[in-house]
Amino acid sequence: MKRHENRNNISAVLLCAALLAGLPFFTACVGGNADGPEAQLVQVRVTDTAIEMPNPLPTGAAKFEITNAGTHEHSFGITGPVGEIALEKPLKPGETATLDEMFLDTGTYRVYCPVDEKHGEPMQIALNVRPDAATANNG
């Protein structure tokens, strides 16, 4: 009877070891790292003639803080490899709003002002997102 119990104990130890060995991979896949890096805050200025922001940006989570530095209403939208997101309502001159956090994957995004687009005068830029952009912007 002892021999059977020893096999069960060894099986349990091996199962626990296998589960613990796979835990870092599982956590990385589901994003379960509560102590991971915070989303980068990207400052955006929308004027009457341009959208001003850092370009390129690194891959990863990002929050956009948009300031209307123009003389009439403007807004902000971004579309690309991970979908599309835009401010819910236009900003009056001098107003600032933050766009919900989104994950930027590698690729090219279209950043645009939906208000100007509705008036037939599209204001847009191509935003490049790449893994090495963090070192490019810092050095």
The domain that holds 58 is classified in CATH as: 2.60.40.420
Structure letter (DSSP) for residue 112:
E
Mean pLDDT to the nearest integer, 3-10: 56
Residue for token pair 């005068």? 121
Does residue 55 sit in the same domain as residue 119?
yes
Residue whose structure tokens are 């070192």: 135
Look up the pTM and report it: 0.69
Q: Rounded CA gap, 57 and 131, in Å?
A: 8
Determine the structural domain holding residue 82 and report its residue range: 40-138
Residue 78: per-residue pLDDT: 96
> How open is the CA angle 33-35-17, to the nearest 5 degrees?
45
Which pLDDT tens digit goes with each residue over 91-133?
Answer: 999 999 999 899 999 999 999 999 976 666 779 999 999 998 8
Percent of the chain with pLDDT strictly greater than 70? 66
Across 72-94, average pLDDT: 94
Quick one: 25 and 88 in the same domain?
A: no
Residue 64: CB atoms within 10 A of its CB come to 23
pLDDT for position 12: 55
How high is the pLDDT of residue 89? Answer: 95
Query: Does the pLDDT at position 139 exceed 70?
Result: no
Task: Give the number of domains in the chain.
Answer: 2
Answer yes or no: do 66 and 48 share one domain: yes
